[in-house]
Structure formats: structure tokens, C-alpha cells
Structure 1
């Protein structure tokens, strides 16, 4: 057996206009192109222009028998934040997670529609694993746009960190050269791949450190992994919506 590192996936993307005189969402969707490429896109048509002030509230929730607050719930004056992103490092972390895919000006006054174009799940894999690691589970990132104390729009991204998966393979399991040929150069953050035998020799994995198993497989192992994934693929997930605990 070998271990494939856990990954993040989008499971839902919900947008709601609470004040249609202020603006409306033209589209808001999640799309799965193939097994390894899933993205979200949205466009908010802003009717009240220009905006010289707007409060953005971002909250992180984790699913524990319903979604409960988890670590962060922050609000910023977006115009002040645009001028000095380092004024709030938590908001800066979330902000930088999508700015490369935001097709609108990020200056004040705000005088344009808000567009998010094809934000891929791979961004979450990098930011929520390598930069700021989060435990496995389902998370809800909720963002509200607030003007004069009233929420005008809300969008919610539900993401899930899947657990590592053990897959069968055939090959010389304890041959370092065999493993380095297949794992070398493909491990994010690893300068020198390390071959580790896990307890009882039941599994072998490429690792940066003993506590941080990261395995990116290629060649025969990738084929074995794909075959295993096909054999136990689950039925498509239903739209879960957002269920918060009271």
C-alpha cells in the first residue's frame, strides 16, 4: 500500500443578493471539468456606483453537527484595506487566495462589477495545506458585503479537505532508487525526497519529514491510483446547502 496526500475540493458555492437595488449576481456556479480540475466562478453586477465605503465581513466555519465558528470572523473597511493590506493579515490571507482570479479593479471608489473567474481548487490545496495547514473536514467560508450596517450580498464557499488515501501498488516497495525515480522532483516543498517505511512495514511513502507525508505519484503508481479511484468511486454528492448549528 502507499499513501496519497489529502487534498481540498470545492463542494458548494452559493451566492445571494440581499438588496437588489444595490446589486445582483449575474451568475454563480461551481464546475468540475475533470477529476483533477474543479473551479468556481461568479459575477456581481453593482448598481450603486461609485462606492466610497464598504465593509467586508469574512467568517470561517467548520462542520461539527452543523457549521460552527472556527478561528476567524473579521470585518474590514475594504477601501482602507486596499490602501494597506498588511493592516489585517488574516484578511490578507483570504484576499490573496483569490486575487489572481478576480477580474476587477481593487481600488476605491469601487466603480465596477465584481468578477471571480475560474478560481481552482488547487489554490486551496496550496494555501490551506502548505501556507496555513488546516485539519481534515468540511469548512464554510462566508463573506458578506455590508453598507451602512446592512448586509447587501453574501456568498459562501464550502470546501472539504479529504483524508489521505491508501492505494495498492506493485513494485519493489523498499527500494529507495525505485521510489525516488517516481517521487523525486514532484513533492511540493521537498528539496530532497526521503523514503520512509511506516510502522510494521505495511506502507511506504515519500516524505519531507516523518510528520508531514506528501506523495505525488507518477508513472505506474499514478495508473494504480487511478484504477483504484475508479473502482471505489462514490455517487455524486448532493447539494448539501448550508446547515448551521444553533
Structure 2
């Protein structure tokens, strides 16, 4: 009985990124120079994104966060909300889900200050870590996290990150 409990406790999750899609609906505002997954080790996949901002400074950013779960197709799951991104950066621990995603992104990016943004946005070798979800446990399955960004109430950028969560 103790051996079974020890094996259950030692079991590691094999969650990882499986796909990444980036879209700029206004190429005069920003473009994606890099949007790819890198395999950096056995079963370890990292996200690399480079967004070249063409109209700076940016001081008005609105974001829509949503989680989708795959059944036969991706269906809305658990969360879909919008907020002022500049205010969130000023007070990052105000909203739980956004704080989790933002903290994960900030470990490997230059999105670490409040608005205005007058430089490109870089996410470099971001690896999915189960510690990112310590307060939001997701059951095993396939998920999509969709981030949509707007300025002046017009959607400009979309980033979709696909995750496979296995136990």
C-alpha cells in the first residue's frame, strides 16, 4: 500500500505546448516576425514569439483571455473575460487567472512594466510548467488558451497557445 502511494506521489505530469498560432489583423500596427515552437529537449517544447510594434508608443491595450477545451472540437471552457491590460500590469494580483498567465509569460518575456510600450514584444523559450497552474488545476485533456489584444477598441492581435495536459 505504501509503495502505491509513493508511486502516485512521484508521478510527474507530461504537460506541454503542442501548437501555436499568431495573427495580426492590422499589419500596419504590428507584425509577428517569430511565432514558433522549439523542441529544446525530450518532451520539452518552448514558445518563441517576436511582435514587431510598428505604431509606438502604445498606451491603450485591452485584452480578452479565454480557455477552450477540446472534445470533438474546441469548446469554450471555464474562462472568457476581458480587461484593461495596462491596469492589469499596474496591479497584477488583482485577478486570479490573468495573474497566472501573466506571471508565466513574464518569466521569459519583456512584458514586465506598465504602459506605454515603445518597443517590440519578445517571448523567448517559454516552457509550460505545471507550477503555472498550481491554483488552477486543469483535468487532463487538450486545451487552447486564446489571447486577443485591442487598442482603441479594435482587435489587432491574436495568439493561440495549444496545451496537452497529461497526468
Interval of TM-score (by shorter of Structure 1 and Structure 2): 0.7 to 0.9
Match status 1:156 vs 2:163:
no
For structure 2, the 5+ residue unaligned runs are: none
Pick one of 100, 112, 117 that aligns with 2:124: 117
Give the structure 2 partner of residue 39 of structure 1: 46
Give the deviation of 1:105 after TM superposition: 4.6
Structure-2 change in CA distance of 1:22 and 1:52 (3 Å)? same
Question: Normalization by structure 2: what TM-score?
Answer: 0.88
Give the deviation of 1:131 after TM superposition: 3.3
| Contact 1:54 1:147 (C-alpha < 8 Å) held by counterparts | yes
Give the structure 1 partner of residue 151 of structure 2: 147
Question: Normalization by structure 1: what TM-score?
Answer: 0.61
Query: Displaced runs of 4+ in structure 1, greater than 6 A?
Result: none
Pick one of 31, 44, 48 that aligns with 1:24: 31
- For 1:1-246, list aligned pairs within 5 A: 4-121=11-128, 123=129, 125-128=130-133, 130-163=134-167
| Contact 2:16 2:43 (C-alpha < 8 Å) held by counterparts | no
Structure 1 vs Structure 2 CA RMSD:
1.7
Q: Which of 1 and 2 has greater Rg? A: 1
Question: Any idea what SS the aligned residue of 1:95 has?
Answer: helix
The separation in 1 between residues aligned to 2:102 and 2:110, in whole angstroms, is 14
CA deviation vs aligned residue, 1:103-158 (integer Å, no higher than 9, x gap): 2452211111111010012x2x2222x33211000000000111222210101000
Query: Per chain length, whose mean CA-contact separation is higher, i.e. which structure has more relative contact order (CA < 8 Å, sep 6+)?
Result: 2
For structure 1, the 5+ residue unaligned runs are: 164-246
CA deviation vs aligned residue, 1:163-188 (integer Å, no higher than 9, x gap): 4xxxxxxxxxxxxxxxxxxxxxxxxx
